[in-house]
C-alpha cells in the first residue's frame, strides 16, 4: 500500500478517466432497506468524490461533489450507484433510487447536466411467481432506475436498467447528453433469457432478469456493448452502429451466478466478468470468468423457437433426454418439479444450437393419476410431477419417471409422493401409472427415480429405472436398477455399485441417468453432488444384466465408457 485516503462514506463504484488525469468514486451511502419503509431519504446523503491523479499518490487531492438539490424523487439523498468517464472528462453518474443521471465536469467539479432516466411500458412479460413462465403480462410506467452506465461515444451512454426501489425495466437504454432516449431494449432481454432457458421465474414479481452492468469496447472495427444480466447469469454482446441507435445482438455468453462487474480489454480480445454469488453448499463459488474473442460461438447449445404469439417457448431445468425411436434428428426432453404443469419438449437436434420446436403438456384426461396421487393433478387436468427421466417407446408414446418425495420414517421429510412410472401418449395424455411393489415403497428414501429407458416392444417391452441413492437396508454404495415387465406387471431389481466419494467437500455419489445400448447392456451417468472445484465424479459407465438371476443380485463392477 503506497497511500490511503479517507472517503467518508460507502464507495460503490470507481472509474478512471481515459487520460488517467482523474478518478471518480461514487459514494452511495446505501439506504437501510429494513429501516421504516426502506425508502429514502436516509442520512447521510451520498456524493461523488473526484481524485486528482497528479504526482505521487501521497499528494493526490480529493474533492467532493454534492448532489443535494438535484431534481429527483429524493433530492437530498442521491445514492449515486455507478460512474463512467468519457474522453472529455465528463463523469456520468447514475442515481439509481432517484431514477436519475447526472453529468459532472471533473476538472471543475460542476454538474453540467442532469435528467430523469424516465419510464418504460412493457408487453409480454411475466409478473407472476407461480412456478410457470407466462409471457402474458403488461407493465406500465416502470422507472428504469439504472445501475451500471458506460460511454459508447463522447456524446452517448448506455445504462443497465436494473431497478432497485420502484422500478427496473428489465433491459438497457442508450441516452445522449441531453437525456434523449436513442434506444430502449423493451422486452427483448426478457424474451432472450426465456429462449435460452435462463429465465429467473422466482424474480417475476420483482425485476425479471435484472440487467446489472454494462461496458463498451472497440474490438477491431467492431463497437461492442456488453450487458450483464444478474439474475439470468448471462452477458449479452451487441454490435453498435456509430450512432448507437440500432444495437444488433451478436451472441450471449454464459456467466457464473450473479455477474456484477464486467471489464472489456479490447487490445487482448478479452472480456472479464466477476460473479459475486458464493455459496459452497449450493455448488456456487464467487469467481472471475475470462472470455476470449474467437471466430466461433460455443453458446448456447439449446434454445427455443417461438410460440404462435411470437414469444419464445419457455423452458429450463431440463432433467432427461430421449431420442425418437425412428427419427435420429428428433429428441424429447422434460423439466423437473421446479416448474408446474409438467410437459415434454420436442427438440430438433441437427441444428446448431439444438432447437426446442414444440411442447406437449401432460394431462390426466382419464383420471389414472388422480386415482393414485390426486394432489398432483390440477383442476384443468394438467399435472405437477417431478419428471427426472423420459424414454421413448418403440410402439409410440413415452415413459416418464417421476421422482418420489420424502423418506419413510423421517418425520422431517415424510413421504408425500411415491416414485411413479407413467405411460404417456404421443399427445401427452397419461394412459397408465405404475408404482413400485409395496415392499420396495416401504424402503423409500427421498432420492428416487433419476432415469428411465424402454427396450423391446409389444409383449416383450421392459422398462428400466435408475434410483439415485441407496434406500433403506440397501448395501452401502449400492443403488437399485429396476426392471418392469409391461406385459406381466412384474418387477425385478439389481444392485449397481457406486464409486466412493472423492470430493474434498464430502457430499454423496449417485446415479442421474440411464440409457440402453442394447436390450441387456446399459450406460449410466454416475456423479457426485458437488460442483465447481469441489466436483470429482462425473462419469459414464456401461454394465450388462445378461444372464443375471432375479433380485437380490449385485452387478459386477461396471465398465467405464470413453469420456466425451
- The structure's pTM equals 0.93
CA 443 to CA 408: how far, in whole Å?
6
R_g of the chain computed on alpha carbons: 28
List, run by run, the mean pLDDT of 10-residue segments along the chain (564 residues).
91 96 94 70 88 95 94 82 98 95 98 97 97 97 96 97 88 97 97 98 94 97 97 97 89 95 97 94 91 90 97 97 96 97 98 96 98 98 98 98 98 97 99 97 98 98 98 94 96 93 97 96 96 95 83 51 31
In this structure, which CATH number among 3.40.50.10800, 1.20.1090.10, 2.120.10.30, 3.90.79.10 belongs to the domain 1-116?
A: 2.120.10.30
Using alpha carbons, select from 338, 347, 439, 444 the residue that is nearest to residue 390.
347
The predicted pLDDT at position 564 comes to 29
DSSP H or E stretch at residue 510: strand 509-516
Using alpha carbons, select from 334, 380, 384, 343 the residue that is nearest to residue 361.
343
Cell numbers for 132, please give them: 410457470
Cell numbers for 155, please give them: 456524446
If 0-12 CB within 10 Å is exposed, 13-18 middle and 19+ buried, where does residue 414 land? exposed
The predicted pLDDT at position 506 comes to 95
The predicted pLDDT at position 561 comes to 36
The predicted pLDDT at position 560 comes to 41
**Which DSSP state fits 561?**
P
Amino acid at each position: 500500500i503506497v497511500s490511503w485516503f479517507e472517503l467518508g462514506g460507502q464507495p460503490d463504484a470507481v472509474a478512471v478517466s481515459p487520460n488517467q488525469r482523474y478518478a471518480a468514486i461514487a459514494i452511495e451511502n446505501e439506504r437501510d432497506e429494513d429501516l421504516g419503509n426502506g425508502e429514502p431519504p436516509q442520512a447521510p446523503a451520498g456524493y461523488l468524490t473526484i481524485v486528482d491523479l497528479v504526482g505521487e499518490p501521497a499528494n493526490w487531492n480529493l474533492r467532493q461533489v454534492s448532489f443535494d438539490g438535484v431534481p429527483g424523487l429524493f433530492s437530498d439523498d442521491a445514492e449515486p450507484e455507478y460512474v463512467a468517464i468519457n474522453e472529455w472528462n465528463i463523469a456520468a453518474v447514475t442515481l439509481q433510487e432517484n431514477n436519475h443521471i447526472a453529468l459532472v465536469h471533473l476538472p471543475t467539479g460542476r454538474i453540467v447536466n442532469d435528467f430523469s432516466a424516465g419510464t418504460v411500458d412493457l408487453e409480454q412479460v411475466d409478473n407472476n411467481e407461480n412456478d410457470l413462465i407466462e409471457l402474458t403480462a403488461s407493465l406500465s410506467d416502470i422507472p428504469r432506475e439504472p445501475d451500471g452506465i458506460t460511454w459508447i461515444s463522447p456524446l452517448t451512454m448506455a445504462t443497465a436498467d436494473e431497478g432497485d426501489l420502484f422500478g427496473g425495466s428489465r433491459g438497457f437504454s442508450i441516452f445522449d447528453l441531453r437525456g434523449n432516449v436513442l434506444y430502449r431494449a423493451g422486452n427483448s432481454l426478457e424474451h432472450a433469457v426465456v429462449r435460452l432457458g435462463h429465465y429467473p421465474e422466482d424474480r417475476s414479481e420483482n425485476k425479471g432478469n435484472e440487467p446489472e452492468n454494462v461496458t463498451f469496447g472497440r474490438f477491431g472495427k467492431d463497437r461492442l456493448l456488453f450487458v450483464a444480466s444478474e439474475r439470468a447469469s448471462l452477458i449479452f454482446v451487441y454490435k453498435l452502429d456509430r450512432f448507437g441507435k440500432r444495437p444488433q445482438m451478436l451472441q450471449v455468453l454464459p456467466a457464473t451466478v450473479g455477474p456484477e462487474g464486467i471489464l472489456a480489454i479490447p487490445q487482448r480480445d478479452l472480456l472479464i466478468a466477476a460473479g459475486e454469488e458464493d455459496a459452497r453448499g449450493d455448488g456456487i463459488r464467487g469467481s472471475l470468468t475470462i472470455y476470449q474473442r474467437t471466430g466461433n460461438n460455443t453458446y448456447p447449445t439449446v434454445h427455443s423457437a417461438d410460440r404462435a404469439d411470437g414469444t419464445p417457448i419457455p423452458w429450463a431445468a431440463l432433467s432427461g433426454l430421449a431420442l425418437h425411436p425412428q427419427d435420429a434428428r428428433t429428441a424429447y426432453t422434460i423439466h423437473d418439479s421446479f416448474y408446474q404443469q409438467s410437459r415434454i419438449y420436442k427438440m430438433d437436434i441437427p441444428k446448431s444450437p439444438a432447437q426446442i420446436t414444440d411442447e406437449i403438456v401432460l394431462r390426466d384426461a382419464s383420471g389414472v393419476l388422480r386415482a393414485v396421487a390426486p394432489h398432483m393433478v390440477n383442476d384443468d387436468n394438467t399435472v405437477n410431477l417431478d419428471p427426472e427421466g423420459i424414454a421413448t417407446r418403440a410402439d409410440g408414446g413415452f415413459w416418464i419417471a417421476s421422482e418420489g418425495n420424502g423418506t419413510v420414517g423421517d418425520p422431517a421429510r415424510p413421504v408425500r409422493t411415491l416414485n411413479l412410472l407413467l405411460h404417456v401418449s404421443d399427445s401427452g395424455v397419461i394412459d397408465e401409472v405404475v408404482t413400485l411393489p409395496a415392499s420396495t415403497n416401504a424402503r423409500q428414501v427421498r432420492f428416487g427415480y433419476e432415469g428411465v429407458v424402454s427396450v423391446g416392444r409389444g409383449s416383450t417391452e421392459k422398462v428400466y429405472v435408475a434410483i439415485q441413492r441407496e434406500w433403506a437396508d440397501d448395501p452401502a454404495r449400492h443403488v437399485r436398477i429396476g426392471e418392469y415387465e409391461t406385459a406381466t406387471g412384474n418387477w425385478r431389481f439389481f444392485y449397481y455399485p457406486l464409486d466412493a466419494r472423492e470430493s474434498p467437500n464430502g457430499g454423496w455419489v449417485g446415479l442421474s441417468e440411464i440409457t440402453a445400448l442394447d436390450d441387456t447392456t446399459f450406460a449410466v451417468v454416475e456423479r457426485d453432488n458437488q460442483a465447481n472445484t469441489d466436483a470429482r465424479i462425473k462419469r459414464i459407465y456401461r454394465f450388462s444384466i445378461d444372464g443375471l438371476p432375479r433380485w437380490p443380485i449385485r452387478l459386477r463392477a461396471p465398465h467405464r465408457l470413453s469420456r466425451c
